Amino acid sequence: MNRKPLVGAAVGILAVIILVVSMLPGSDFLKGVVPKDVKLPGSLSTIYSDLKPLDVQLNDISVLSVSEKEATLELKFNVYNPNNKPLLLEMISFNIFENDIKVGYGEIGERLGGQYANSNYYTVLSGSSLLVHDKIPLKNTGNNPEFWLTLQQGTPEWRIKGEAFYSTTSAFSGLANSTSFDFTK
57 CB contacts (<8 Å, ≥6 apart)? 77, 78, 79, 80, 181, 183
The per-residue pLDDT for 127 is 95
User: In this predicted structure, which of 5-14, 67-76, 80-89, 100-109 has the lowest mean pLDDT?
Assistant: 5-14
Whole-number pLDDT of residue 169 = 66
3-state DSSP call for residue 36? coil
Confidence of residue 77 (pLDDT cuts 50, 70, 90): very high
- Region of residue 99 (left: phi > 0; alpha: psi -120 to 50; beta: else): left
Model confidence at 30: pLDDT above 70: no
Query: What confidence score (pLDDT) does residue 31 get?
Result: 53
* Other CB atoms within 10 A of residue 41 CB: 7
Looking at every residue in the chain, the average pLDDT score rounds to 82
Condensed to tens digits (0 to 9), the pLDDT of residues 132-167 reads: 999 999 999 989 999 999 999 989 999 999 999 998
10 Å Cβ neighbour count for 84? 12
Per-residue pLDDT at 11 exceeds 80 = no
Determine the pLDDT at residue 36. 52
Does the predicted model carry a pTM greater than 0.75? no
Reported as a single tens digit per residue, the pLDDT across 93-147 is 999 999 889 999 999 988 755 555 556 788 999 999 999 999 999 999 989 999 9
Instruction: Determine the pLDDT at residue 73.
Output: 96
Any idea which of 9-23, 45-59, 155-169 has the lowest mean pLDDT?
Answer: 9-23
Is the model more confident about 169 or about 157?
Answer: 157
